[in-house]
Chain A
Amino acid sequence: MFLKGTKFQQAYVVDESVYSGFISLFRDENPLHTNEMFARAKGFKSRVMHGNILNGFISHFVGECLPLKNVIIHSQGISYSRPVYLNDTLELYVEVEDFFESVQTIEFKFFFENQNRIKIAKGKLSIGLI
């Protein structure tokens, strides 16, 4: 199930409910995320979605999309290379990098692509089997 090279894929949409839900929960109303004119003045085509929305998608992937429920996140790291805008459709690609049977830990690498097949973020994820 978690052999090195095993791949998973999951689609997400950064729609209005995700965007407004994130702001409602975490109160990050920085103008880059909320002010169209400000975002454009800074060189972006529109309001930039919060990068940590993607971390929420990772949480969903681990908790809901893996073929096991007995999992816990040990660590995750992400780097962003392109902005995400409202209503972008993202595809998450996840691959098993290593399985440490001794401590029941799986390491993954992952990346997100947008609807234009442009990679917008990548990272590493470590989970434990509990």
Chain B
Amino acid sequence: MESSEILKQVNKIFIDVLDNETIVLSNETTANDVEDWDSLTHIQLVVAIEKHFQMHFTSSEIRNWKNIGEMCVTISKRL
């Protein structure tokens, strides 16, 4: 899957989970850039993304991501 397609699908998950149609993610996006992306919604987002792409991340992987782009790279490698 193209990285742009992964980003698009992740964007849709963010919109659904955070119930915010205005969210537009880029590879550089971090939690500081998205309203309501806090410690609780973070869990919902990760679970939704793992389910959607049918894969599991590890806690160390998540800790090392600096932005959305790095998460998409991990997804891309697993697909």
Residues of A within 8 A of B50 (CB): 100, 102
Asked if residues B58 and A105 are in contact (CB atoms below 8 Å), the reply is no
Tell me the residues in window 18-75 of chain B with beta carbons closer than 8 Å to chain A beta carbons.
40, 42-44, 46-47, 50, 56-59, 61-62
A101 to B59, CA, bound (A): 6
Asked if residues A100 and B58 are in contact (CB atoms below 8 Å), the reply is no
Report the count of interface residues on B (CB-CB < 8 A).
13
Residue from A74, A101, A126 whose CB has the most chain B CB atoms within 10 Å: A101
Q: With CB as the reference atom, state the residue of chain B lying closest to A74.
A: B43
Report the count of interface residues on A (CB-CB < 8 A).
10
Closest Cβ of chain B: how far from A73's Cβ, in Å? 12
Is A103 interfacial (CB 8 A cutoff)? Answer: yes
Tell me the residues in window 86-124 of chain A with beta carbons closer than 8 Å to chain B beta carbons.
100-105, 107
Residues of B within 8 A of A100 (CB): 46-47, 50, 56
Nearest 4 A/B pairs, CB to CB = A102-B57, A103-B43, A103-B46, A102-B62
B residues neighboring A (CB under 8 Å): 40, 42-44, 46-47, 50, 56-59, 61-62
30 sampled A-B residue pairs with Cβ under 8 A: A74-B40, A74-B43, A74-B44, A100-B46, A100-B47, A100-B50, A100-B56, A101-B56, A101-B57, A101-B58, A101-B59, A102-B46, A102-B56, A102-B57, A102-B58, A102-B59, A102-B61, A102-B62, A103-B42, A103-B43, A103-B46, A103-B47, A103-B59, A103-B62, A104-B59, A105-B43, A105-B47, A107-B47, A126-B47, A128-B43
